[in-house]
Chains A and B, each alone.
Chain A
Amino acid sequence: MRRVRFVTLISIMALVAAACAAPDAGDDTTTTAAPTPTTSGSSDATTTTAGGGETTEPPAAGCDEPIRIGVLQPLTGGLAASGTDAKDGFELYWANHSTEVAGCTIEFRVEDTGGNPDTALQKVDELVQNYGAEIIVGELLANVTFALADRLKDNPDVIFMSPIGSADDMTQRNPFPNFIRAGGWTSSQTSHVLGQWAFDEGYTDVATMCTDYAFGWEMCGGFTQVFTETGGTVASAEQLWNPLGSTDLGTYVTQLSGFEPDAVFVLQVGASVSDFFQNWSDFGLKESIPILAGEVTADVSNIRNVPVEQVEGLISSGHWAEGRDAPETQEFVELFDGATGRLPSYYAAATWTASQYIDEAIKAMNGDISDKAATLETMKGLELLTPFGPSVLDEYGNPIYDIYIRQVVVREDGRIWNVVIDTYEDVDQFWPKTAEEYLQQPVYSREFQGNAGG
């Protein structure tokens, strides 16, 4: 009996040991300075994208201490795939750019939040106080991003960047002083544009189907407001809201077809995406009713595993288009594909771009970022060419981008991606309104969709 127990115990301990060794040899959570560029085929791209490596600035003040960056992403749990994309994008940047910037060494550490605000708040304390992080690059979920921003708002020694968490109010009605969304976006920013485009395409009567939570309300509201104010119609009764995480959308799809709309605006996330497209095809609606998708629904991370014929030709809008035919985008796409074997999602492009902002800001500040307010102002003054395209920040710290109308096409290698079919230049978070005008209305919610038709 004792022997049996002993054997069981040993085998369990062996399992534990196996679990401890992460698939890519241990440096999964803790990455320190100067990661060697292991990326295949990156050597030639490094020289083209580095930009600052060759400009031999005087060693200037230099740094006694390395500049430390803390990255918080969900690497376990339901959002692990997206969080890992974000982590990979961040690490890839520093694997292909010098970590010696303006005489300072850049170090960073990636921590797992599990998508849980409690854990994220503990980890950010650890990163700021023990690790000495001066810049925190934060989370994917709106609630965790809000929790972190609130915790860091009184800390004048830290800059908080959120390239993914896109809750509208963080740069609108509920701003935080040391918060900046470099590389990020607001949820409604991209769907505003799709509302305009849909009307210009001749659609007049559109139904919507969005996930019933804050992100879905904001995406849907952005589309509904601009589309109806331009002249289109969205009947309130034809706005469907399905619960977060639902995976049987058949009843909703049947209802949508009953409305007989010109087109349907759809915002689904996670596992609901493939379920939606499955149902849409099963009901034979793909040929009869066009879909206009919110950015995340058509993101490559969500449609990777959907059968090609179900999403080919899908129209969406976004600040990210991995199929955009421009060198700054394609260099990044090839690097990421080479390193991970996946086409990059917007999560990866976002953290790469955040790194780019950090890199350029440190250069512009000549290595001295001790004055965080000045550093933030410097960041807001940068005009960068990022994988997203040209990027500048508005006074609220949110990017002004070109927003793309995208279409899913099949690449030569059989994979699908989003290519650009139309571009709206210099779109800010209030587009097409002014900030003053826009901020008078409440944030989008299920009750307030900005529907001009009531």
Chain B
Amino acid sequence: MLRSISLTGRVKLGLAVAGLAFGVAAPYVFDRFVIGLISLALIAGLFAQSIDLLGGYAGLITLGHAGVSGTAAYGVGYMAAKVGAGFPAQIGMGLLAGMTASLIFGVMAMRSDGVYFIMVTLAQGMIVWGLSIRLFRITGAENGLTGIPRPPSVELYWQYYYLTLAVVVVSWILLGIIVNSPFGVSLKGLRESETRMRMLGYNTTGQKLYVFLLAGFFATLSGILLVYLNGFISPSTVILAASAIGVLEAILGGIGTLVGPMIGAFIIVFVQNVVSIYVARWPTLMGLLFVVVVLFARRGLVGAISDGWNRWLDRRGASTPQEPILTSSNQATGP
């Protein structure tokens, strides 16, 4: 049965299985600190993936996405810390707040594109930040909201890690289905040329709102996961830098792929939290990393690896022409 899948497909499948096995086994191997880091990276990865759904697939770069995930997190935090409501109400409010923010922001942004889309979303993120430091009774202002316990049965760090892993894996599968669906393909059309898509009869404005809501949903999930991970929410979660880091993670890993943002998130979380223990000037290091990636791997790390892989396949294909699975890359062979 495996024979029917291409070599690339088999490698991908192998990596996915290995990654999942690593994820499941991790709490038995690592201590609490590392598991905490992996949880944080998974959540950051989901956030970066939702940015990539907009930026990488639909060509709509957003600089205000932390406003959506942060609104969801504040929804949970408000119900927990200020109202004292139960967990269903907390999570319900988180989803409601996140999706309402997505809807409002989506309606505001759906008629713009390119650099104007970036400016509109930037402003949206700044509005959420501005409200977070001003609406003292709801957000606790600069002090943030404390006293947000995790739901029962996922209280311990490793239990919460498994919940995070499960949500991220399911979301990843859903995202995979979305980007490979006809709607996902139409998003790529939107990215390449909106006017042509409109000429073909697509309602591009509706498409943008739809994809904004979908991306908002996954950002909402990441916001809810984050607030329970930290037990805390403050304006630092919704500042411009939080949105920008998400975009940078997607670019670093490889925009327009789903695995890229996740890899980018792991690298950045690792640099921020582990490398910074040993290297005083870790921000310099991170900056250099970006420069190197942008100079030498314009499609991100995943893009660079997949280019290298295809070249290797071509060379291998040239020496062993009987391999039947190289149809897709054959045209690139030959002088």
Contacts and interface: CB of A to CB of B under 8 A. Distances in A.
A16 B286 CA distance: 10
What DSSP secondary structure best describes chain A's contact surface? helix
B231 interface: yes
Contacts of B235: 143
Contacts of A22: 280-281
Interface stretch (B108-116, B166-174, B194-202, B288-296): B288-296
Contacts of B230: 117-118, 121, 147, 151
Interface stretch (B30-38, B54-62, B317-325): B30-38
Contact of B32 (A129, A143, A212): A129
Contacts of A28: 280
Given A28-B280, A75-B280, A123-B273, A146 B234 contact: yes
A143 B236 contact: yes
Contact of B33 (A8, A125, A142, A445): A125
A36 interface: no
A445 B133 CA distance: 11
Interface stretch (A108-116, A226-234, A313-321, A410-418): A108-116
B160 to A, nearest CB: 13
Contact of A29 (B32, B146, B276): B276
Interface string B212-246: 00000000000000100011101111000000000
Contacts of B32: 125, 129
A130 B273 CA distance: 14
B280 A150 contact: no
Interface in B281-304: 281-285, 288, 291-292, 295-296
Contacts of B234: 117, 143-144, 146-147
A328 interface: no
B144 A12 contact: no
A119 interface: yes
B231 A150 contact: yes
B272 interface: yes
Contact of A16 (B147, B272, B277, B285): B285
B288 A12 contact: yes
Contacts of B288: 12, 15-16, 19
Given A19-B284, A143-B235, A146-B234, A213 B33 contact: no
Nearest to B230: A121
Contacts of B277: 29-30, 111, 123, 126
A262 interface: no
A306 interface: no
A112 to B, nearest CB: 5
Interface string A86-130: 000000000000000000000000011011111101110110011
A116 B271 CA distance: 14
B315 interface: no
Contacts of A130: 31, 33
Contacts of B296: 5, 9
What DSSP secondary structure best describes chain B's contact surface? helix
Interface in B138-181: 141-144, 146-147
Interface in A180-234: 212-215, 217
Interface string A135-157: 00000011110110111000000
**B32, B147, B232, B292 — most chain A CB neighbours (10 Å):** B232
Contacts of B31: 129-130
Given A30-B278, A151-B231, A214 B33 contact: no
A194 B282 CA distance: 42
A119 B133 contact: no
B311 interface: no
A446 interface: yes
Contacts of A114: 272, 276, 283
A244 B133 CA distance: 9
A213 B133 contact: yes
Interface in A433-454: 445-447
A146 B144 contact: yes
A188 B221 CA distance: 38
Contact of B136 (A77, A142, A214): A214
Contacts of B272: 114, 116, 119
B40 interface: yes
Contact of B36 (A20, A112, A125, A174): A125
**A111, A122, A217 — most chain B CB neighbours (10 Å):** A122
Interface in A2-45: 5, 8-9, 12, 15-16, 19-20, 22, 28-30
Contacts of A121: 36, 230, 232
A115 to B, nearest CB: 8
Contact of A112 (B134, B136, B276): B276
A297 B127 CA distance: 27
Nearest to B292: A12
Contact of B285 (A19, A213, A215): A19
A8 B280 contact: no
A123 B282 CA distance: 15
A243 B142 CA distance: 13
B37 A122 contact: yes
A76 B282 contact: yes
B276 A167 contact: no
Contacts of A15: 288
Nearest to A176: B146
Given A150-B146, A169-B143, A122 B232 contact: no
Contact of B146 (A119, A147, A213): A147
B13 interface: no
B24 interface: no
B279 interface: yes
Contacts of A129: 31-33
A20 B143 contact: no
A130 B30 CA distance: 11
A122 B36 contact: yes
A243 B235 CA distance: 14
B41 to A, nearest CB: 10
A77 B142 CA distance: 18
Interface in A379-399: none
B231 A212 contact: no
B142 A213 contact: yes
Contacts of B130: 243
A35 B273 CA distance: 25
**B37, B143, B283 — most chain A CB neighbours (10 Å):** B143
B244 to A, nearest CB: 13
Nearest to B284: A19
A167 B141 CA distance: 11
- Those 6 A-B pairs whose CB atoms lie nearest each other, nearest first: A143-B234, A214-B142, A28-B280, A22-B280, A150-B146, A19-B284
Given A114-B283, A122-B36, 9 more contacts: A29-B277, A29-B278, A75-B280, A111-B277, A119-B273, A129-B32, A143-B143, A143-B236, A147-B230
11 contacts: A5-B296, A15-B288, A16-B284, A19-B279, A77-B283, A111-B277, A122-B37, A130-B31, A143-B236, A146-B234, A149-B146
